[in-house]
Amino acid sequence: MTIARPHLGRERPSGGFELYSWYFFRISGLLLILLAVGHVVIMHVVNTVDEIDWQFVADRWNSPFWRVYDWLLLFLALTHGLNGARLAIDDYVRPHGWRVFAHSVLWTLALLFLVIGSIAIVTFDPSKFEVVAQAGG
């Protein structure tokens, strides 16, 4: 006697963009776990909340490694979430017009947040804020 197993989740697509999306979900999820655990350990275990201030971030971002690390965390989290939201829209938004609208809003917001986050990480210059930091501290 064979017992039917319940169908859980989506099956792996057979090809095209959806297959790459399927693989991206798995790879980005694993990388996000590693990056997020590393972030939590460094920011909340190795360093305490009392040690983390503006100067801590400025010193950290003097290294290209930490800028790339934080940008990868931003990029992977945003695109991983974008991919999940795209699948939810495809699954639940049936009328074509509303689906196009939902995808347009989703992609516009994702691009906006990626640009804002990238600008903050790439153009951060602590010397521009030293006067403000000294006045506040």
Structural domain that includes position 53: 16-136
Does residue 85 form part of some domain?
Answer: yes
Largest Cα separation within the chain, whole Å, is 77
Is pLDDT above 80 for 86? yes
Does residue 130 form part of some domain?
Answer: yes
Does residue 4 form part of some domain?
Answer: no
Question: What's residue 128's pLDDT?
Answer: 80
**Which CA distances in Å does 102 have to 5, 39, 75, 99, 123?**
34, 32, 21, 5, 31
Q: What is the DSSP letter of 41?
A: I
Does residue 3 form part of some domain?
Answer: no
Measure the CA–CA gap between 73 and 61, rounded to whole angstroms. Answer: 14
Is pLDDT above 70 for 6? no
pLDDT band at 137 (very low <50, low <70, confident <90, very high): low
| CATH number of residue 100's parent domain | 1.20.1300.10
Instruction: Tell me what the mean pLDDT of segment 12-34 comes to.
Output: 90
Does residue 111 form part of some domain?
Answer: yes
Question: What's residue 81's pLDDT?
Answer: 96
Query: Residue 91 in contact with residue 50, Cβ under 8 Å?
Result: no
Instruction: Tell me what the mean pLDDT of segment 89-104 comes to.
Output: 96
Is pLDDT above 70 for 75? yes
Query: Residue 58 in contact with residue 126, Cβ under 8 Å?
Result: yes
Tally of domains within the chain: 1
Tally helices (H) and strands (E) across the chain: 5, 0
Exposed, middle or buried by CB within 10 Å (0-12, 13-18, 19+), for 127? exposed
* Across 4-8, 16-20, 28-32, 49-53, least confident range: 4-8
How high does pLDDT run on average in the chain?
A: 89
